[in-house]
Structures are given as C-alpha cells and as structure tokens.
Amino acid sequence: MSRAKTLHEQAVAAAVMDRYVRWDPTSAPNVRTSLKHAELFNGDIFMVARTPSGTQRFLLGDVTGHGLPAAVCAIPASELFQTLTARGAGLGETSRALNRRLNSVISDGLFMAAVLVELDFRQGMPSIWNGGLPTVHQCRPRGGVAHSFLSRHVPLAIRDEESFDARFESVSFEPGDRLYLRTDGLVELPDLERDGEQLLLDTLNFQSDLETTFDDVIDRMSEARGRIESHDDATLIEIACTFPELVENAPELADENGGWDYTVRFDSAALKRADLILMVTPVMESMVPKQELREVALTVLGGLFTNALDHGVLGLSSTLKHGEGGFERYLCARMDSLSSLTEGSVAVTLESE
C-alpha cells in the first residue's frame, strides 16, 4: 500500500472518529480543555451533554493503549453517554450501562478508565463517579483544593454486571469553584524523582487567581516534562461551577400580558446531534419563572421529542425493549438508524397566549 493511500485512509478514519467523539465547545462555555495526543488515533475522549432537567453531564475516558483500536472503543461509549443523558438517566445508571456496553463490544484486555461528572446548578452540587482515572480536584476561588474525588472504582469493562459498583460521590460547591479532571498522561514525568501528582497539587494549592490556574498547570507540566516526547495521551479539563449562558441571543419575549412563540426545527443532519433541551432551556428560563413547572415542562418536552424522533422519524418499535437486554438492543438499533438517517425532520413550537 502506498504511503499516499495510507495517509488518505488515516485522514478518512480520523474524520469519522471526530464526528462521533467531538463536542461543541460553544455548548459549554464554562469548560476549558487541553488534549495532547501521542498518536493520530487515541483513546482519550471528552464529552459534554445536558439532562432534560438542565444539569450538565461530562464524560472523560481513557482507553488502554493507543492507535485505532483504542480510538474505536471510544465510539460506543460516547454515543451511549449522549443518548442516556438526553433521556435523563441517572449518573449511576449511566455508569452501569457504559460498563455493560463496553463489556459487550471491546476486545479482551482493553478497558476504559473514566470519570463521570454531573453538575446540578440548582442544588449546588457536583456528583462524580471515578473509575481508574487520577483524582479529580475541586478548587475554591480563594485558593486551594477544597475536596478531592479519588478513584474508588475499577475502570469500565472490567467488572461484570453483578459486581459493578455504580455508587458515586456528591458534595456541595460554591459559585466560582472549579473542577480539574485529567488522564494519567498529564502527570507522568520522565524524571522519576519528580512526582507529577505533587507538582499538580502544589500548583493548585498555591494559586491566588483561578482565572490563571488552567494555564499555569499546563505551563508547569510542560516545563517539568521538558523536551522529552510523551508516549501517552495527556488531557486536562477545567470545569467552572457557574451556571453557563448556553444561548447568548435568546429570542425576545413579549411582556407578561402578551403572547409569544418560539420554533426550532431539526433536519436529518441536525437530528444526528440534536440537543433540543440545550437550545430551549434558556428560553424556558425566561418564559417560565417557576422552577418546578419549568423542570416538568422540559421533561415532557424531552420525552415528546424523543418519541417523535425514535418512532416517527426512525420508525423504531418499543417492542425492541422487551426481554433481557432489550434496552441495550433498542439503543443499538437507535444509533444505527440515526447514523444512516438521510431524510426526515422534527419541529418543536412553544407558544403562550
């Protein structure tokens, strides 16, 4: 095979991978990322999604190994994560489903170390499930690490269904707190006398301004690593615990005595990455002042949209969910149908009189 053909096939494969595991940075302005890959194809993935109630959900994963085999394993994890989050599945249920799915599709000897994070802005609470990734640190604007979320579980695709532990840890956060997630490649230093984890903690604990912490961590780790080429993927994620303005230019609404309407339409291409709740949540916050009513409306709206897409556009039958493994079978059929979708659309209109 010629080098030109090989490079072309790699570029095509990379484009396909990017389509499945990429996320839109504009959807989460409270997040900063640094992703450095040792090879073109890699096993580090980071995904962001929102539940029907408006909480943010994050997945950081690190598949063992490098290259295409590791990268391919990230596809089912990212798709299932987004699907379950859109349906409002709990954090524990999501971790268990990811473990089940990866156990069924990836090769023996491969697994995914992962961190699942949920930010509930209304309750002021982050919840974290950490299976095999480095400790997640929660830092305060006044400086210093306020809490550390240790890895309390083995990575995904190691335990079977019965022995899997889906328990997660929840604490409170203050406005302005930040979470720092990373893969182990970030703190692995070539000089064994230097402790990368301790260097990270020193950087986090002696910061007077969290606005510069992310860049300071990157600079200090790069300086410590020197010119030695890294043979592992290295990812650092900073999540600010402040409510994100996800839609800057929400439509102007009529005053409380007037009527209004808001319509959004997804064509076949947009349906493949549709996030209805993400688009309408800021509008609903303006239109429906009562939180309880707003959450009910968003939940109902999410269910109606899913039914319109699954049964109206994709033509899926609910009978697929029946029997053992039915829900996973249904999700697989949904992902296959959605990836090959070429026609159809869903329109949603909100109005008040």
Cβ neighbors of 246 (< 8 A, separation 6 or more) are: 27, 28, 29, 278, 281, 282
Residue that is written with structure tokens 């020193």 in the block: 202
pLDDT at 275: 66
Please state, in angstroms and rounded to a whole number, the distance separating the CA atoms of residues 68 and 66: 7
Q: How long, in residues, is the chain? A: 353
CATH class of 3-240: alpha beta
pLDDT at 172: 86
Backbone angles phi, psi at 319, to 5 degrees: -65, -20
pLDDT at 251: 39
By three-state DSSP, how is residue 103 classified? helix
- How many of the other CB atoms lie within 10 Å of CB of 120? 16
Cα atoms in the Cβ-side hemisphere of radius 13 Å centred on 49: 27
CB 310 within 8 A of CB 337: no
Please state, in angstroms and rounded to a whole number, the distance separating the CA atoms of residues 245 and 285: 11
pTM of the model: 0.65
Q: What is the pLDDT along the chain (353 residues), one digit of tens a residue?
A: 566 655 545 555 555 555 555 666 666 888 998 877 655 556 778 999 888 777 889 999 988 865 666 667 777 888 889 888 887 788 988 999 999 988 887 766 789 999 999 998 777 788 999 999 999 999 988 768 999 999 999 999 999 888 999 999 998 888 789 999 988 776 665 554 456 677 888 888 877 677 888 888 888 877 776 655 555 567 889 999 875 443 333 334 444 445 667 788 888 888 876 667 666 766 676 666 665 666 667 777 777 888 888 888 888 887 877 776 666 677 778 878 888 888 888 888 877 76
Instruction: Give start-end residues of each CATH 3.60.40.10 domain in the chain.
Output: 3-240
Backbone angles phi, psi at 82, to 5 degrees: -65, -40
- How many of the other CB atoms lie within 10 Å of CB of 103? 16
